[in-house]
Amino acid sequence: MHTVVLQSLNDFDEWRGQARELLRAGVAPDEVVWRDPKSEAGLFEQSEPDIAHAGDVRPVGAVPPAFIELAPKVLCHSDPERFGLLYRVLWRLQADRAILEVASDPDVVRLAGMASAVRRESHKMKAFIRFKSIVDDTGLERFAAWFEPDHYVVEMTAPFFERRFTGMIWAIVTPYRSAYWDGQSLAFGEGGTRADVPSDDAVEGDWKTYFASIFNPARLKVAMMKSEMAVKYWRNLPEAELIAPLIRGAKQAEQAMIKRAASQPPSHHLKRVERHIIEQPEPTEIVSLADARAAVQGCQRCPLYEHATQAVFGEGPGDADIMFVGEQPGDQEDLAGKPFIGPAGKVFDAAIEVVGIDRSRVYVTNAVKHFKFEPRGKKRIHQRPDAGEVQACKFWLNLERAFVKPKVIVALGATAAQSLLGKTATISKLRGAPITLEDGIVLFVTNHPSYLLRIPDREMAKLESAKFEADLALVRDYWRGLEN
């Protein structure tokens, strides 16, 4: 029996190095015991220095990209069997490169389930982290948050916070690892405890107790520190003259952003959904709108999930007669997890109120569920989704249509019309009359409310608003006609 003692809980390169050695030596999966730093026996054991080669050194076959994609995520799962399971699959891949395509294979099902659980945990971390502000007597503000993940997701999720809160100094502490961003570089250190992070916004005294203890360089010595620069910054933090002006300028806006981000987490009751190897839910496994709402948080049908905070699913009664479909969530919607709550949402709310449509009776959603944007300084600038992204996301819109069964659908803007009609759409040609879709549902097409916000000329804006309201009045009349 061979024992492999890993130094890291979730380091793919380390596991891969060991697995390759074992493979080369022809060591079968059931001859290996894997231990990580959390395994009790692991504390007292050492890896065997040399693996006795069973006969010839074997060539290691090329591994399918799907395995390379899956394995780092599986390694972040907390199941102690993850290392052995991955090694067994790697071993089997040497004889059959296609096993990952067999969605019913028990090992493949397990791997896919573990990767899904890790991805969901990473989404949860993005949605549930709440930063506390810590201010020292120079006015320097830093932020810290405590999070207890079910899986080892800090390293894979921290870059998201780096992108989102670039201008701040922040720390995220978890029991197994902490992440630290000093405004320049991201570093990881030992885990901590809940007491390392103040329970409320704190002043300098508290900072000394908590923050200093989290980022005591001694605790970071084993960390995977990316640069010398980072160490220098930690040591200098109490003086902080270099960074303070930078931070002060951005302070209020960032604090507001954090509070907004924390205000509306998505549902944490993410229902377990079996996934096939590319980790997408099979349509047959989603049997209700609630299932779809939960499953969309794991969507990777297109790359937009990578930078968005969360998927924003539709909202409204599950049996609404009218479904409004916009383009994609904007900045505020992305943070809050709700559709049409930002500036475009305000225009929309006002217009439907004018014509007498009650928002609480309609279902409001988007053609694309993740926010597409380009970071520009601290701003996230809206980018129009492309045809591929719209097509990929149609899966979710179709589910919403299937469960809500609206009698009337309203496309707000060209992207929604394109998704619903399956071809490019010109609003001016389509507005003003009902269109019957293939399944018999009636579609109305009108402008996107954000179009009204972009019209510089006041007269023109008034005219377009009136046209928008007239379109909505047609919808109202059609709906009333159905009711009578």
Q: How far is the CB of 315 from ligand URA (least distance, A)?
A: 9
CB 102 within 8 A of CB 211: no
Q: How far is the CB of 366 from ligand URA (least distance, A)?
A: 5
C-alpha separations of 402 from 181, 278, 286, 293, 399 in Å: 44, 24, 11, 13, 5
Q: How far is the CB of 412 from ligand URA (least distance, A)?
A: 6
Q: How far is the CB of 307 from ligand URA (least distance, A)?
A: 17
Half-sphere exposure of 411 (CA within 13 A, CB side): 31
User: How many CB atoms lie under 10 A from the CB of residue 234?
Assistant: 19
CA–CA dist 86, 35 (Å, integer)? 13
* Complex with ligand URA: residue 141 or 334, whichever CB lies closer: 334
Q: How far is the CB of 164 from ligand URA (least distance, A)?
A: 19
* Complex with ligand URA: residue 11 or 334, whichever CB lies closer: 334
CA–CA dist 391, 382 (Å, integer)? 19
* Complex with ligand URA: residue 10 or 366, whichever CB lies closer: 366
Chain-centre distance for alpha carbon 287: 23
* Complex with ligand URA: residue 127 or 344, whichever CB lies closer: 344
Q: How far is the CB of 369 from ligand URA (least distance, A)?
A: 10
> Which residue in the block uniquely carries the two structure tokens 């699959």?
89
Interface residues toward ligand URA, by CB under 6 A = 326-330, 333, 339-340, 342, 344-345, 366, 450
* Complex with ligand URA: residue 344 or 408, whichever CB lies closer: 344
Q: How far is the CB of 414 from ligand URA (least distance, A)?
A: 11
Residue among 478, 292, 308, 316 at smallest CA distance from 402: 292
Residues in the chain: 484
CB 27 within 8 A of CB 85: no
CA–CA dist 74, 76 (Å, integer)? 5
* Complex with ligand URA: residue 390 or 399, whichever CB lies closer: 390
> CA 23, 223, 183, 159 torsion: positive or negative?
positive
First to last CA, the chain: 77
Q: How far is the CB of 401 from ligand URA (least distance, A)?
A: 17
Q: How far is the CB of 344 from ligand URA (least distance, A)?
A: 4
* Complex with ligand URA: residue 232 or 384, whichever CB lies closer: 384
* Complex with ligand URA: residue 329 or 406, whichever CB lies closer: 329
Helices (H), 96-226: 106-128, 154-164, 204-214
CB 35 within 8 A of CB 5: yes
* Complex with ligand URA: residue 189 or 345, whichever CB lies closer: 345
Q: How far is the CB of 328 from ligand URA (least distance, A)?
A: 6
* Complex with ligand URA: residue 36 or 327, whichever CB lies closer: 327
Half-sphere exposure of 208 (CA within 13 A, CB side): 3
Chain-centre distance for alpha carbon 401: 24
| Helix/strand/coil percent split, the chain, to 5 | 45, 15, 40
Residue nearest to ligand URA (CB): 326
State the amino acid at position 334 in one-letter form: D
